[in-house]
Structures are given as C-alpha cells and as structure tokens.
Structure 1
Amino acid sequence: MKTTLRIQNLKCGGCANTIVSQLNALNKVSDVSVVVDKAEVTLQHEDELALLNAKETLKLIGYPEEGEVNSFGTKAKSYVSCAIGKMS
C-alpha cells in the first residue's frame, strides 16, 4: 500500500535525509520519499501495523502528523534530527 502523510516541523533536506533513513530501516516499509515544500512523506507499507510504526517513528524523531500535538520537546527533537540529517 502507498500512503502520503502530511507532517509538522519539516524544514529542509537534512530533515528529509533523517526521515528517509529512519523509515527505510523499518520492517515492511519501503520507497520512502519526502517533499519538503509540501511537508509530505510518501511510503510503501505492507500492512496497517507497518504504517502505525512509521507514524510513531516520525513522531519520535520530531515530525508528528499534521493535526497531532506538536510540543516544544517534539520541535526540539526535529532540530536534532535535522542536524543529524545534514551531517549524513
């Protein structure tokens, strides 16, 4: 299945690099792509559990789905994830 998610805190290519690497590392998730200008992540997933795992991973690294709580802590995580993505 293919799903596109709109996420928060997506700022640049560094963020996108981290998102792609983290989601591609998940079981049953593949073909991850990010459109920074639209704050969208598109991914292939084998089942609903894989999609839920992808959403949870995004939240843990600072990129919750649009409409979810976006606390100061979550925003701070996105800055760290962004920096990591820029270095890799």
Structure 2
Amino acid sequence: MEIQVENIKCGGCAGTIKKNMLNDSRVSGVEVDIEQGMVIIDSADDARADFSAALLKMGYPESGTAEGLAAAKAKAKSFVSCAVGKVDNMVNK
C-alpha cells in the first residue's frame, strides 16, 4: 500500500521510517520515495489506519490529515526522527 506523507526531507527520515515500520510484524517490506513523500508498505494485512497512526507518531502524518498545532507538532517530531536516522546511518556505515 502507498501512503503519501508530509515532512520527509532526507535519507535520515527514510531510514527512521523503514526501521520503525519494519518493527511491526505485519510489515514485510518498506520503501520510501523521498522526492514524492511516499511510503510504500508491503503487508498481507490491510492495516492502513494502524500504519498511518505509526507514521504520525514518528512525525510523518498522512498528507492532508494534520493541521494547525498537530501539523507543527508532527513537523517537530520529524526533525527529531530525521536527526536520529542520520546518526543511525553514520553509525552503521
């Protein structure tokens, strides 16, 4: 399934999304298209609402779902997720 999200800026963001989504046993694969802001999730379960909620918790809300304070909060979380992803990428090289 494809979920269009906001706040994806770099490979650090993509790494964080992949790592966290793969922790869900229902997810067999994850791809992130940074330029398009798209998260592609391979899963036998139709758990779109759960996956969207997990992405929101990381700071990457489904496009058009977060406004005002919720959007600002998601953006702040995405900056933290991005930084963590960059550090993880550097450590794992």
- Asked if these proteins are the same fold (TM beyond 0.5), I'd say yes
Larger Cα-atom Rg: 2
Correspondences of 1:5-84 after superposition (within 5 Å): 5-49=3-47, 51-70=48-67, 71-84=71-84
| TM-score, normalising length: structure 1 | 0.90
Deviation beyond 6 Å, 4+ runs, structure 1 = none
Structure 2 gaps of 5+ residues are 89-93
**Percent identity for Structure 1 against Structure 2:** 36
Shift of 1:47: 1.5
Residue 11 of structure 1, CA deviation: 0.4
Q: Which residue of 2 aligns with 1:87?
A: 87
For residues 29-87 of structure 1, give each alpha carbon's deviation from its aligned partner in whole angstroms, at most 9, with x where no partner exists: 121000101111101112223x3221111000100001111421111000000000001
Normalised by the size of structure 2, how large is the TM-score? 0.86
Kept in 2, the 8 Å contact 1:28–1:47? The answer is yes
Q: How many residues align?
A: 85
Return the alpha-carbon distance in structure 1 between the equivalents of residues 56 and 25 of structure 2.
17
CA contact (8 A) 1:26 1:54 kept: no
Whichever residue aligns with residue 76 of structure 2, its letter is A
